[in-house]
Structure 1
Amino acid sequence: MNSIGLDGFLLLLLLLLFSNGAPQAIIKTLPGYSGNLPFKLETGYIGVGENEEIQLFYYFMESESNPNMDPLLLWMAGGPGCSGLYSIVYDIGPCTLDVENFDGSLPSIILKPYSWTKVANIIFIDAPVGTGFSYANTSRGYSSSDIKSTKDIFTFLRKWLLNHPMFIKNRLYIAGESYGGKLVPMVAMEILRGNEERLQPQMSFQGYIIGNGLTDSNIDFNARIPYAHRMALISDEYFELAKISCDGKYYNHDPNNVQCTYALQRIQECLSRINEVQILEPSCANSAPKPDEFGWPQTFLKDNSIDHLVLPTAKQDCHVPNYVVSNNWANDRTVQEALYIRKGTITRWRTCYNGISYKQNVESALEYHKILIKKGCHVLVFNGDHDMAAPYMGPLKWIRILNLTTDDDWRPWLVNGQVAGYTERYNKNDFNLTFVTVKGAGHSASWYKPKECLTMFHRWLSRHPL
């Protein structure tokens, strides 16, 4: 049997093994929405780990354009520990929940016109284990880490594709936001290694996307104070004092450095009432129950979590926070029955963080990007320019470290004739990276500027200049 025949035989064998191995359901109606859903939704579990002790839950939404030809996107939310439902409702999905009219009862579902499902098939995953509706059959199974979660997600993707062979040939992109951005290049590396080792199925991997993401703690967190200075939130004097006394190291600074500590205290006083995920929005932190821990080490900010997100509002007052609404909806018994959630597998669903045991054992994902440069990838990195939690200056710094060649200088990109942000493009051999700022957006960019972000995504997918 030649190598091509052997590959085909192995794929057929795997398809037979897994074709009925993972229960999945097509969801046509959902509580809170009147009538049939206008998009195709599938939910299910995929078993990974030893003896499949970990059951990862997913939401799959087909492209509303041409699912057979449009790319397949695996999307990872932030946290670590934010559910895929978070990304659907508050980010790039086709529907959200009615916050304005929420009265404590079951929230209504509202359709969104600028979902990324307009042009792509998207898998939203509840990962790591313990997130959302994902669960483990053993207490040991709930322990996870950057490295373990990456391997679990790769195994999940292999099995998902074997259960959905019609999508194996679709162009594949790995995407994530916030903390998920750190795992994106790690999962990409697993896919490339798997393809090189002739693991089945052979994936049509094209590249990856990072939105408002974490890459390297020292780079990303150290960018916050220069960003605050650039946005006129701290004075020249405070910034220069911190820059000199801290030697530019504001994150994990030396506690014995009295001058540095003093400078950071003065800066903290200036920033303590700023909403770091969108500096133009009112700070309503005390009105929302927040996840207990997002794993972002504490620095000078009162709340260092990138993933603490408050819904934007046209009014300059506090409003019902998103976690209350999504928690109410997802914990409703009729909703869980409609989604085919296995009974008795979770106690209470949370939008973000569900008491997971997670070890951050990869401080920087920069080395993964350096290796991926040699493999040839199509990459998109974007940031809202009013996000102080994950400021755009962080990615610009680590992109420069990659020593790429600039082939399209910094310039505005337009939507309907208006400046939607700024972009710069880099390349090296077959590796190309497009960096984008989204004007006026916070964390995450697509919630604040959905039309602009869908336009950005569509143009980038089409290999058209932004």
Structure 2
Amino acid sequence: IKHTIISHTYSGSLCVFTNGGSLDDVKSDWGYVDVRQDAHMFWWLFFHDTSYQPSFLPTLDPVPVILWLQGGPGASGTGYGNFEELGPLDLDLNRRETSWTGLGHVLFVDNPVGSGFSYVSNSNAYTTDIDQIAADMVSVLKGFYATHPELLPNPFYIMCESYGGKIGCSNCTGTQLTSKYSHFQEMEAGTFNINLQGTGLGDGWISAMDSVNSWGPYLYQTGLLDDAGLSAVNKAAAATQASVDAGDWVKATNRWSLTEKPSNVDFYNILAPHHATSALRSHRNISALVAPDLAYAIHVDAYQADPLDTLMNGYVKNYLGIPASVTWGGQSNDVFNAQSGDFMKPVILTVDQLIDTGMKVVVYNGQLDLIVDTPGQEMWMKKLSWGRLGEFMAQDFTPMYAYQGQDTGGFSKKMDNFEFWWVLKAGHMVPADAGEFTLYMLHDI
């Protein structure tokens, strides 16, 4: 692995934000790892900062290292996850009081290669399946820990969102029993000595069809579809299921994208559109797009709103010293398209393998999410072969609170090393919608 650290010294005038600060206000480190020929992956570490310690939670000791994996595939963790969900600064570079850096060191990786500031110098270097993504992630983490060996003893957790949940499963155990690239298997073999303690699969794309097949009933029961709309969504879902059953995975991805056309519904939060501009732009151009570009426009494009693009390709790019030839997010569409043959494949077996390792496995989901709705999550969990599944499903869930005496923030079930959390008043982007409760959940994990 060739590990390249790019310049950390910023020279020149800082971009001035009306209400914001600068990246000089937080302590971070960053670099590139050449994981394969023509494949260059970017990581950005934000160190634990006690000034962000939540007043309602005790300090964690030892301090964990928390890896955040974004969705898409093709969305940028260093951009969206960092500045719009859980990093120390928001889009205006103002302080985010619910930053995860109050609990641990937070590591963002632009993954798969081609997302965010990660890039390929040859189109043949894009990953096409989960095993390849996992191989690259092991390589980039080896490069990261070569730079920060002092963090090797710290507990390590992989926290994910959306397609990042599918990636997170693979990173921990591999998508098949024969996978050579999992973190856990590398640890068992003594070739990757990190202190991996668990993973959180947030609104995870674990079983695509369980989500798709539940969209119609979910929208109908929440009053967002009438009878005709329910029939149309169910018909499109059935067509997608037929492609899955036939093993035509690329066609399944294309048909999936055409299922996502209920008018005036935000797929990330059914009550509060988070990306109105992107959503409107996508629907205006819907007739001119063909899948999987349609799926990219609705999902990856929505992660990367115009203000974020301006920030990342302006001030942030200059501050970090990113190569001039690299455009943040410039290859994201290609990343999605390269994964189109793997996108709809379920990884329920992988979750079973993950539970069998004994590490902590947490599934959490936003109540108001549609793209990965909670009913769909419950459907795939019932397909696990875990020996205690029946006992787990039969138990009552427990109300959970960020603050005792306040409104319920969510519910949880826990048994052995497996947990499920329902997060109330949150959509797909749980840390952005329910920041304080998410800190409580993360601390509990």
TM class, shorter-length: 0.7 to 0.9
Find 2:114's aligned residue among 130, 135, 152.
130
2:339 matches 1:349: no
Contact 2:402/2:409, CA 8 A, preserved across alignment = no
Matched residue, 2:250: none
Alignment of 1:100-115 (within 5 A): 109-115=93-99
Amino acid aligned to 1:184: G
Q: Of residues 202, 217, 225 in structure 2, which corresponds to 1:234?
A: 225
In the other structure, the counterpart of 1:275 is: 266
Aligned: 1:424 with 2:412: yes
Q: Could you tell me how far 1:35 is from its partner in structure 2?
A: 6.1
Alignment CA distance shift 1:272-1:380 (3 Å): same
Within 2, Cα distance between the matches of 1:229 and 1:36? 45
2-structure distance, mates of 1:304, 1:419 = 37
State the Cα distance separating 1:149 from its structure 2 match: 1.4
Unaligned runs of 5+ in 1: 1-16, 99-108, 256-267, 311-321, 461-466
Q: Does 1:197 align with 2:179?
A: no
Alignment partner of 1:380: what SS? Answer: strand
Deviations 1:71-128 (A, max 9, x none): 1111111111111211001111111113xxxxxxxxxx11110011110111101111
What is the total number of aligned residue pairs between the two structures?
A: 394
Report the 3-state secondary structure (helix = DSSP H, G, I; strand = E; otherwise coil) of the residue aligned with 1:419.
coil
Aligned to 1:463: none
Q: TM-score, normalised by structure 1?
A: 0.74
| Structure 1 position 26, deviation (Å) | 4.8
Give matches, 1:324-403, under 5 Å.
Answer: 324-332=306-314, 334-344=315-325, 346=326, 348-350=327-329, 353-356=332-335, 358-359=338-339, 360-361=341-342, 363-402=345-384, 403=386
Give distance in 2, aligned partners of 1:178 and 1:123. 17
Aligned to 2:68: 75
Change in 2 beyond 3 A, CA 1:361/1:197: same
The residue matched to 1:355 in structure 2 has which SS?
Answer: helix
Question: Which amino acid counterpart does residue 80 of structure 1 have in structure 2?
Answer: P
Query: Partner residue of 1:173?
Result: 157
Select the structure of larger CA radius of gyration.
1
Which letter maps to 2:357? K
Q: Whose helix fraction is larger, Structure 1's or Structure 2's?
A: 2
Partner of 2:148: 164
CA drift at 1:187: 0.3
Structure 1 window deviating more from structure 2 (159-168 vs 348-357): it is 348-357
Q: 1:36: how far off?
A: 6.5
**Other-structure match for 2:252:** none
- Give the counterpart letter for 2:107 in structure 1: I
- Aligned pairs for 1:407-422 within 5 A: 409-416=396-403, 417-422=405-410
Contact in 1 for aligned 2:110/2:117 (Cα 8 Å): yes
| Offset of residue 69 of structure 1 | 2.5
CA–CA distance in structure 2, aligned partners of residues 167 and 67 of structure 1: 15
More strand by share: 1
CA shift in 2, pair 1:191/1:420, >3 Å: same
Query: In the alignment, which residue of structure 1 is the partner of 2:124?
Result: 140
Map of 1:150 onto structure 2: 134
Q: Aligned residue for 1:8?
A: none
- C-alpha separation between the residues in 2 aligned to 1:269 and 1:25? 43
Letter in 2 for 1:413: M
1:68 and 1:57, CA in 2 relative to 1: closer, same or farther beyond 3 A?
farther
Q: TM-score normalized by structure 2?
A: 0.78
1:312-323 equivalences in 2 (<5 Å): 323=305
Tell me the residue number matched to 1:317: none
1:86 touches 1:351 (CA, 8 Å); kept in 2?
no
1:444 CA drift (Å): 0.7
Amino acid at match of 1:443: H
2:423 pairs with 1:444: no
Code of the residue aligned with 2:407 in structure 1: it is V
CA distance, structure 2, for counterparts of residue 88 and residue 131 of structure 1: 14
1:138 CA displacement: 3.1
Flag structure 2 segments of 5+ consecutive residues without an equivalent.
51-58, 174-181, 244-258
| CA offset digits 1:181-223 (Å, max 9, x no partner) | 11111000101110111114x1111110111220011112212
Please give the root-mean-square deviation of Cα atoms over the aligned residues, in Å: 3.6
Q: Is the 8 A contact 1:277 1:309 kept in 2?
A: no
Find 2:88's aligned residue among 91, 94, 97: 94
Contact 1:423 1:434 in 2 (8 A): no
Whether the 8 Å contact between 2:267 and 2:370 is mirrored in structure 1 is: yes
Residue 5 of structure 1 aligns with which residue? none
Contact (CA 8 Å) 1:72, 1:167: kept in 2 or not? Answer: yes
Moved more, 433-442 or 204-213: 433-442
Task: Quickly say closer, same or farther: Cα 1:336–1:204, change in 2 above 3 A.
Answer: same
Q: After TM superposition, give the deviation of residue 324 of structure 1 in Å.
A: 0.7
The residue aligned with 1:453 is: 438
Deviation at 1:375, TM superposition (A): 0.9
SS of corresponding position for 2:157: strand
Alignment of 1:12-51 (within 5 A): 21-24=3-6, 26=8, 31=15, 32=17, 33-34=20-21, 37-50=24-37
User: What secondary structure, in the 3-state scheme, does the structure 2 residue paired with 1:96 have?
Assistant: coil
Q: CA separation of 1:438/1:164 partners in 2, compared to 1, >3 Å: closer, same or farther?
A: same
The superposition leaves residues 370-422 of structure 1 with CA deviations (integer Å, 9 ceiling, x where unpaired) of 11221112122221111111111122222222242329621322233233443
Pair 37,434 (structure 1): closer, same or farther in 2 beyond 3 Å: farther
Deviation at 1:448, TM superposition (A): 1.4
